[in-house]
Chain A
Amino acid sequence: MSRVLVGVKRVIDYAVKVRVKPDHSGVVTDGVKHSMNPFCEIAVEEAVKLKEKKLFKEVVAVSCGPAQATETIRTALAMGCDRGIHVEVTGKDYESLGPLQVSKIFAALAKKEEASLVILGKQAIDDDCNQTGQMTAALLDWPQGTFASEVEIEGDKVKVVREIDGGLETIKINMPAVVTADLRLNTPRYATLPNIMKAKKKKIANMKPADLGVDIVSRLEVLRVDEPPTRLAGVKVETVDDLVAKLKESGTI
């Protein structure tokens, strides 16, 4: 009961201006700068910190995607994870890969690797779903501590301080459990060059979803992707009467 599983997702870098494909089937990703999802970086940092405190023996980084996903796993290894698992999903399958399929994959791996803790980012910055952690816990029938801003291991339980709308909520859950990382959980360390070089020697196992008995057929079909409509300039009016007239004109009242 000494292993942590961390999920890392390769997403379009947050500073890049995203462009919709000419056929409106999705966004342009070819050649676009990608990086590790910021919340996944925080998840990796937390997992590595727990290992450094000697609370766990091994941290395994997992990513689902095409060949380039191994670069993201390599960064996680450079931050201190011990080994990686690349679940290969390519082409159209990758375009339709969503939280339900990914959580099935993580659930299967958590069982296979006998993980005591699964740490994920709270959401990915490309789809903003905020679902994978919760679904993974449900599929495993494990407790979940989401939006974690503090994580403390107390014996075979985890104390999680959660960021919620009303403030902070502290819960204690039994392990094995799923935790999702929120912004203030920690500040991720840099993947420095000597660590990237060492990470090249760490193992990344390669497998397909079918090897885990997971069917990744999507139940969702994306019909169309469009840019948000250009924001039109507002109109200033001089008097309240003008305002009422304009609202009547536009059919609002």
Chain B
Amino acid sequence: MFPACRYSIQGVEMERFADEADVVIVGGGPAGLSAAIRLKQLANEQEKELRVCLVEKASQIGAHTLSGACLEPSALIELFPDWKERGAPLNTPVTEDLFSILTKKHRIPVPMLPGLPMNNHGNYIVRLGHFVRWLGEQAEELGVEIYPGYAAAEVLFHEDGSVKGIATNDVGIAKDGSPKDVFERGMELHAKVTLFGEGCHGHLAKQLYQRFNLRENCEPQTYAIGLKELWVIDEKKWRPGRIEHSVGWPLDRNTYGGSFLYHLNEGEPLVALGFVIGLDYTNPYLSPFREFQRWKHHPFIAKTLEGGDRIAYGARALNEGGYQSLPKVTFPGGMLIGCSPGFMNVPKIKGTHTAMKSGMLAAEAIFPKVTAEDPASETTGFHIPEYEENLKKSWIWKELYSVRNIRPSFHNYFGLYGGMLYTGVFYWIFRGKEPWTLKHAGLDSAQLKPAKECLPIEYPKPDGKLSFDLLSSVALSGTNHEGDQPPHLTLKDDSVPVARNLAIYDGPEQRFCPAGVYEYVPLETGEGMRLQINAQNCVHCKTCDIKDPSQNINWVVPEGSGGPAYNGM
């Protein structure tokens, strides 16, 4: 299975310091923080003691958060009815909602009728990183112990197989696996229940699915990659509150994806824009990063960005599986919350409100159990199936059920246009009440066609004004890792990249990684190539772990504090 250690240490003290909490939460995103906040709200209301510890791999809360984002405030209002007084950074109500189908030179506007899933009346454009930072401040005020800069690297188990907690990673290991002078073992955090809120495609969740067979009755998760930039634009072009979405060019009708461009209203003329591509794409020559860069040259987009300055860049994978891909979310000793199991409403392109709600439901199910005199759990780590039952009764479930057929409807000969037709008829008119449930196409990693069956794509060179090269983009993410540590992008079999990925698929990882981590370079001596892994560039998007056609790349968490330094992304 997955080894807990990527290395072995001779002659070093292997005992770990351990501490106990009532609840441990892995991941300081909307789901994890909402769960923590709800737990403490209940504890304070009922005057009960509750130790809640949250660990987050980013150096500060919000630094690894990346999203469009357009927030539906429903869950926030439930969590904090007084969110406005508390200063939640929801500064940009949506004022205008535009949807376009792009062709190479033109734009076909599509009316945003009320009732269509993309309609955004009542929502806010937010910088999710700042919103998450604010949630972190609220959580700390309520007494949650938050530890940013510490990555949960290992799940711990009791003798009866239930989850006991987590351990943070050992630090001070050199690239070759040997201990440096500053080597120190990670720490164990034990809890009655451990919540896993790692976001899309969490590395610990991956292990839990296998161990507890959580995916036996659902379809595999399907994903997309989202790339994003922040631009300061010419004030004359700024329309605060305006939302723009597009589909079509530069993607062909059989590649799922589209763009977003949101005008923020926080003082300076800032726009958040980006491109999302379904990871079920079939052409190994496709580069999501370069599609994003060339989309910006479309006349309708370029006119907004001309004269502006790019100030940030980042990327992250997101879930698209929705209802069909939901796994079991409770198991002895733990639960899965947020984008990790995956509650994103794909046609709405919103997952924050459902992630928050799942965290809150988890907290409400846990609280009576961990504060009860007699916990009545058959396993040492608490198994709390009430969480899953409550999820199924909640608005999350209804919402995801009603949009379940939209994404899979894309898998037809007409691709995008078939999907839009389906949405128009079945969602807009019937609200997803049709009795059938369409299936997804299967694992994203299995969708690539061999390179010889596909045409390479001619991408234009970046012009340095609207479009940019990969490395200068990665620099803007602020990503960095301690250089002298074992690479956290591990290969199950070192020979597979050249033998399979390069030979059959022309090395697609060189193209789908938005951070330039993977490069096929000639061997120093003799003929042939090797895969060079520039782990320091990694922005923790998880795309490689998802899309590798050989499923040979296994993303594990690097030393805490490493990774991007997003500010309000």
Residues from chain B with a CB closer than 8 A to the CB of A188 are: 182
Tell me whether A189 and B147 are in contact in the complex, defined as CB-CB below 8 angstroms, given that A15-B479, A32-B565, A33-B565 are known contacts.
Answer: no
| Shortest CB distance A250–B (Å) | 24
Say whether chain B's binding surface is mostly helix, strand, loop, or mixed. mixed
Q: B475 near A17 (CB under 8 angstroms)?
A: yes
| Shortest CB distance B483–A (Å) | 11
Residue B168 interfacial (CB < 8 Å): yes
| Shortest CB distance A154–B (Å) | 24
Residues from chain A with a CB closer than 8 A to the CB of B130 are: 31
Tell me whether A31 and B568 are in contact in the complex, defined as CB-CB below 8 angstroms, given that A192-B184, A193-B147, A193-B187 are known contacts.
Answer: yes
Question: How would residues 1 to 34 of chain B score, 1 for a CB under 8 Å from any chain A CB and 0 otherwise?
Answer: 0000000000000000101000000000000000
Residue A197 interfacial (CB < 8 Å): yes
Q: How far is the CA of A31 from the CA of B17 in the complex (A)?
A: 32
Q: How far is the CA of A187 from the CA of B478 in the complex (A)?
A: 23
Q: How far is the CA of A15 from the CA of B182 in the complex (A)?
A: 22
Question: How would residues 178 to 195 of chain B score, 1 for a CB under 8 Å from any chain A CB and 0 otherwise?
Answer: 001110101100000000
Question: How would residues 537 to 569 of chain B score, 1 for a CB under 8 Å from any chain A CB and 0 otherwise?
Answer: 000000000000000000000000000010110
A-B contact number at CB 8 A? 59
Residues from chain A with a CB closer than 8 A to the CB of B62 are: 31
Contact of B182 among A30, A31, A187, A194 (CB under 8 A): A187
| Shortest CB distance B70–A (Å) | 20
| Shortest CB distance A109–B (Å) | 28
| Shortest CB distance B288–A (Å) | 22
Tell me whether A22 and B232 are in contact in the complex, defined as CB-CB below 8 angstroms, given that A13-B59, A188-B182, A190-B182 are known contacts.
Answer: yes
Question: How would residues 142 to 154 of chain A score, 1 for a CB under 8 Å from any chain B CB and 0 otherwise?
Answer: 0000000000000
Task: Name B63's closest neighbour in chain A (CB-CB).
Answer: A33
Contacting A at CB under 8 A, from B361-390, are: none
Q: B479 near A189 (CB under 8 angstroms)?
A: no
Q: B478 near A31 (CB under 8 angstroms)?
A: no
Tell me whether A194 and B59 are in contact in the complex, defined as CB-CB below 8 angstroms, given that A13-B478, A15-B480 are known contacts.
Answer: no
Question: How would residues 180 to 200 of chain A score, 1 for a CB under 8 Å from any chain B CB and 0 otherwise?
Answer: 000000011110111011000
Contacting A at CB under 8 A, from B122-136, are: 129-130, 133
Q: How far is the CA of A196 from the CA of B148 in the complex (A)?
A: 11
Tell me whether A33 and B478 are in contact in the complex, defined as CB-CB below 8 angstroms, given that A13-B59, A187-B181, A190-B171 are known contacts.
Answer: yes
Q: A189 near B184 (CB under 8 angstroms)?
A: yes
| Shortest CB distance A87–B (Å) | 23
| Shortest CB distance B568–A (Å) | 5
Residues from chain B with a CB closer than 8 A to the CB of A197 are: 19
Q: B182 near A189 (CB under 8 angstroms)?
A: yes
Residue A35 interfacial (CB < 8 Å): yes
Q: How far is the CA of A17 from the CA of B310 in the complex (A)?
A: 12
- The tally of residues in A whose CB lies under 8 Å from a CB in B reads 21
Question: How would residues 100 to 133 of chain B score, 1 for a CB under 8 Å from any chain A CB and 0 otherwise?
Answer: 0000000000000000000000000000011001
Considering residues A17, A30, A33, A196, which has the most beta carbons from chain B within 10 angstroms of its beta carbon?
A33
Residue A16 interfacial (CB < 8 Å): yes
| Shortest CB distance A19–B (Å) | 6
Task: Name A22's closest neighbour in chain B (CB-CB).
Answer: B268
Task: Name B477's closest neighbour in chain A (CB-CB).
Answer: A17
Q: A31 near B129 (CB under 8 angstroms)?
A: yes
Q: B181 near A194 (CB under 8 angstroms)?
A: no
Residue B60 interfacial (CB < 8 Å): yes
Tell me whether A193 and B133 are in contact in the complex, defined as CB-CB below 8 angstroms, given that A15-B478, A31-B568, A35-B59 are known contacts.
Answer: no
Question: How would residues 126 to 164 of chain B score, 1 for a CB under 8 Å from any chain A CB and 0 otherwise?
Answer: 000110010000000000000100100000000000000
Tell me whether A15 and B268 are in contact in the complex, defined as CB-CB below 8 angstroms, given that A189-B184, A193-B147, A193-B150 are known contacts.
Answer: no
Q: How far is the CA of A203 from the CA of B47 in the complex (A)?
A: 28
Residues from chain A with a CB closer than 8 A to the CB of B59 are: 13, 33, 35
Residue B476 interfacial (CB < 8 Å): yes
Q: A33 near B60 (CB under 8 angstroms)?
A: yes
| Shortest CB distance A73–B (Å) | 15
Q: How far is the CA of A162 from the CA of B208 in the complex (A)?
A: 54
List B residues at the A interface (Cβ < 8 Å): 17, 19, 55, 59-60, 62-63, 129-130, 133, 147, 150, 168, 171-172, 180-182, 184, 186-187, 232, 268, 311, 475-476, 478-480, 565, 567-568
Q: Top 10 closest A-B pairs, CB basis? A: A15-B480, A33-B565, A31-B567, A16-B478, A194-B17, A190-B171, A193-B187, A193-B150, A189-B182, A194-B187
Further 10 A-B residue pairs, CB within 8 A, beyond A14-B480, A33-B567: A13-B480, A15-B478, A15-B479, A30-B567, A32-B565, A35-B59, A187-B180, A193-B147, A194-B19, A196-B150
A–B pairs, 12, beta carbons within 8 Å: A13-B478, A13-B565, A17-B475, A17-B476, A19-B311, A30-B567, A33-B567, A187-B181, A188-B182, A190-B171, A193-B186, A194-B187
